[in-house]
A = this chain, B = another copy of it.
Amino acid sequence: MDKELFQKFVAFTTAVHQITSDISKDIKAEALTPLQYKILEYIAVSQPVTLSEISDCMHMSMPNTSRELKKLSEKQLCDKITDPADRRKQGITLSPAGEAMMNEAFQHIAIRFTERIGDLTEEQRKEIERALDLLQEKVFY
């Protein structure tokens, strides 16, 4: 019953949400809804992905997932490749245009991130890296 630790956890996750939302606020590029952007982000880091996986991880129903993915395909931002081993499944990847868009988005985020930690020493960055590793391994796995 680590009450203090839990409170820090809550405050921390709140701060992470706040900062990432600030940092990527006006990013959601050309003609993308917030949901669509999030889906692209997910595809970008988990490529290749199946529709069911997106549906599970993002807590959305298959029909809605299918609809949004269709829109993304129509915008030429992602590709669907039917799995030859099981033709019901589709491997979804970013298209070259999708990669380009996400790279640009990540670059904007990278710039703001750099501003944020700009005045830290090399030693402090190492510390931060260790902290990130630790938390990701023990808490956010």
Contact = CB atoms under 8 A, between A and B. Distances in A.
A114 B1 contact: yes
A141 B15 contact: yes
Given A15-B136, A127-B134, A128-B134, A113 B9 contact: yes
A48 to B, nearest CB: 17
A139 B116 contact: yes
Contact of A19 (B41, B116, B134, B140): B140
Contacts of A19: 139-141
A125 to B, nearest CB: 6
A20 B17 contact: yes
A114 to B, nearest CB: 7
Nearest to A3: B110
Given A1-B114, A2-B125, A125-B2, A132 B9 contact: yes
Interface residues of A, number: 48
A132 B8 contact: yes
B127 A139 contact: no
A20 B45 CA distance: 18
A61 to B, nearest CB: 14
A132 B129 contact: no
A117 interface: yes
Nearest to A130: B131
B129 A8 contact: yes
